[in-house]
Amino acid sequence: MDQKRFLITGGSQGIGAALVTLARKAGHRVVFTGRHDDTIGQVVGETGAFGLRADSSSGDDNQKTVEVCTQQMGGVDVLVNNAASWYDAAIGELDLDAMRRLFDTNVFGMVDLTNRVVPLMKAQTPEGGDIVNIASTSGTKGRKLGTAYAASKWAVRGISQCWQAELRPHSIRVISICPSEVQTRWGGRTGRNNPNKLYAVDIAATIMAALNMPSRALWPELSVFATNPWKEE
Ligand SMILES: NC(=O)c1ccc[n+]([C@@H]2O[C@H](COP(=O)([O-])OP(=O)(O)OC[C@H]3O[C@@H](n4cnc5c(N)ncnc54)[C@H](OP(=O)(O)O)[C@@H]3O)[C@@H](O)[C@H]2O)c1
């Protein structure tokens, strides 16, 4: 892949931060977002990427993010919709406001930002661009307590298919990635350190592999599982 201009939402931790690191190591320019200055500053210091505080669920922040990309890089070639939040609750006890807040980031925020970036990518034809949407295996199979989160990730996969149909004629690839469990700070859980389960860098490497496919070739959806999480050390 030639040098590209990446916009990565939620690049201050976890999978997003691992992707900022790999993209920078490969020589790409990167703007990323997050909501906390301390974690943003740490990734900026480690990678030299440009980080900004912007909440994906805010239209004003998404507009600012696109403006920063234009100022810093002159546009966006690769948009990675990674920022997401988590809410688990049983039906009968679900807080609809919490579910709406989750959808504001995981679904509406992703759509709003992409809605602002796609006109820039279309104007770049014939180069086009790449849009990577981070879904989940939770968006392929229902589970207990998963109403809000799983529904949001099914939505990400469905929306990705709609965008594939719309954007292929503009040479814009839309790729959805479905990781299984990854050992990040996801949902506030810390202290997981199982060498046989997935790490953030595994998902970042998968995203880079999909982007490194010849631009003629589109990989519409990828699931990523740990090869042998049951292995005894
Ligand atoms: N970990 C897993 O097991 C797993 C499995 C399947 C799919 N995924 C998906 O992978 C993606 C990344 O998850 P992760 O495990 O890397 O989570 P993580 O470690 O919690 O990182 C999430 C990142 O997104 C940012 N973020 C969250 N809400 C945001 C918002 N509204 N606006 C801007 N930034 C926001 C966070 O920073 P701030 O909190 O500072 O904003 C952080 O940088 C998510 O889409 C998730 O659904 C994760």
Question: How much is the pLDDT for 190?
Answer: 66
pLDDT tens digits for 128-169? 899 999 999 999 999 999 999 999 999 999 999 999 999 999
Nearest-angstrom CA–CA distance, 72 and 131? 19
DSSP code of 91? T
Whether 14 lines ligand 1, by a CB cut-off of 6 Å, is: yes
Please check the confidence at residue 126 and state whether its pLDDT lies above 90. no
Question: How much is the pLDDT for 143?
Answer: 95
126 prior amide bond cis, ω within 30: yes
pLDDT band at 191 (very low <50, low <70, confident <90, very high): low
pLDDT tens digits for 56-91? 999 999 999 999 999 999 999 999 999 999 999 999
CA angle 73, 163, 216 (to 5 degrees): 70
Whether 136 lines ligand 1, by a CB cut-off of 6 Å, is: yes
Q: Residue 16 C-alpha to ligand 1 middle, in angstroms? A: 7
Whether 51 lines ligand 1, by a CB cut-off of 6 Å, is: no
Question: Looking at residues 107-111, what average pLDDT do you find?
Answer: 98
Specify the pTM: 0.97
Question: Looking at residues 17-39, what average pLDDT do you find?
Answer: 98
Mean pLDDT of the chain: 95
User: Ligand 1, atom 8: nearest CA belongs to which residue?
Assistant: 136
Question: How much is the pLDDT for 74?
Answer: 96
pLDDT tens digits for 4-16? 999 999 999 999 9
DSSP assignment of 158-208 = HHHHHHHHHHGGGTEEEEEEEE--B-SSGGG------TTSB-HHHHHHHHH
Please check the confidence at residue 233 and state whether its pLDDT lies above 90. no
Which domains occur in the chain, in start order? 5-224 (3.40.50.720)
Amino acid at 223: S
Ligand 1 binding pocket mutation candidate from 20, 36, 57, 82 (most atoms within 8 A of CB):
82
Residues of the chain above pLDDT 70, percent: 98
Please check the confidence at residue 232 and state whether its pLDDT lies above 70. no
Question: Looking at residues 169-195, what average pLDDT do you find?
Answer: 87
